[in-house]
Amino acid sequence: MRPSSSPSDGLLGGLSRDPGVDAELTDRALLQAMLDAEAALVGAAADCGVTPRPAAQAIAAHCRADRYDPAELGRAAEDAGNPVVPLVRALTAAVPEDARAWVHLGATSQDILDTALVLVAVRAAGPLLGHLDAAADAAVRLAEAHRDTVMVGRTLGQQAAPTTFGLKAAGWLIGLVEARTRLRQVRAALPAQLGGAVGTLATFGPAGAAVAERYAGRLGLATSPMPWHTRRQPLLDLAAVLGGLLAATGKVALDVGLLAQTEVGEVAEGGAGRGGSSAMPHKRNPVHSVLVTAASRRAPGLVATVLAAAVQEHERATGAWHAEWEPLLDLLHLAGGAAARTARMLDGLEVRPDRMRANLDATAGLVLAEAVAARLARALGRSGAHDAVARAARRPPFRDALYADPDVRAHLSEPEIGEALDPHGWLGSAGLFVDRALAAYRTEEAS
């Protein structure tokens, strides 16, 4: 069990947190989800005529987290290996004597805890999706405002060819929208878990499958064709989509951090007083970028743990099931904080077109070498054009070297060289791709 207050308490936890998401990940939230599963179980059994309705109502009345101490249950969990056993004991003691026989009827501890983790994920996904909405909206505004703002594209850490900041923002947008879409899909498909000791629901006899369906329905969760005690695809899907979300936000954060470097200076994070250094008074560190990047670096190990735990033996696992709990909660915590920070980072981002143009012009047109070679190829062929332009590139400044090269001047006039060195003429389909990204976003919003 986690500390009883919040997964983001303490000196370090707040650096990766979002209060709205974390409110659904506390011990008390998990405890309430377990109790919701118990109430749904007895209610479903009553719906199917297995449990007396008065007993179901009496048990449900005691399924309130404020009646129990999470810390005490956590201490007692050590003896059983999970917190459901002491919770069932406490719930049984709390209900009227004539209802006690019906508490936890037909279920096993894994049914309750798996279902509770699914409920926690579904509930935490609400504010998490809200932050992804805000981040996508901010990316849309950047893509629209800077559709045609030229900047240098960089590959393998080096200046490569012109692009636009709008295209970069559109790429961020698509990544965020894809992560949001997949989270919505996985959230809607997360199933309740009910199988009893070995997945047969033998306690309920012929009514077992019907009880499982009513159980899922009462919780608002999907129904699985059969129990998934050792078939962990639902949680693998959840871990994967959260890992993908952290990769999408991490991509945005990494780009922002690199563009905010002093020597580049093409963007800066907004927010007066943020990003200070304990040693250097002049520093303005990109804090959002740093913390979202940090969260994205932690995700692969957590996803790998869930993946490693998915190969489970026979009808119930020995340890692999237990290994999933905290990594899944940690992934939800990190995803919530990263999505919220990404939204704030993009909403307040300061974009500096003048600096983008200065960096683009810093090599006197060298980043347009491909454009010049394309024009020369009509006369010299691809290989000959490549060699001629490469020769000029070795004699900076590039523009002057092109003017002075007889092989180049034999086929291109000064005005034609000037046209080839205009970055706006070598943007290809950048504007179209931005428009497509925005159209895809609006279509997804309308659906």
Q: Which residues are catalytic?
A: 277, 316
114/84 Cα distance (integer angstroms): 11
List, in order, residues 6 or more apart from 394 with CB less than 8 Å away.
401
6/24 Cα distance (integer angstroms): 9
3-class DSSP state of 136: helix
Structure tokens at 2: 């986690």
337/330 Cα distance (integer angstroms): 11
The stretches of 3-102 forming alpha helices (DSSP H) are 10-13, 19-22, 27-47, 53-61, 70-80, 84-94
Instruction: Report yes or no: 257 and 250 within 8 Å, Cβ to Cβ.
Output: no
CA distances from 306 to 44, 224, 240, 264 (A): 30, 20, 9, 39
Instruction: Report yes or no: 289 and 254 within 8 Å, Cβ to Cβ.
Output: yes
Beta bridge partners of 153: 161
Instruction: Report yes or no: 266 and 153 within 8 Å, Cβ to Cβ.
Output: no
Backbone torsion region of residue 124, taken as left when φ is above 0, otherwise alpha when ψ lies between -120 and 50, otherwise beta: alpha
Instruction: Report yes or no: 334 and 16 within 8 Å, Cβ to Cβ.
Output: yes
Q: How many beta carbons lie within 10 A of that of residue 378, not counting itself?
A: 10
15/9 Cα distance (integer angstroms): 10
Q: How many beta carbons lie within 10 A of that of residue 42, not counting itself?
A: 30
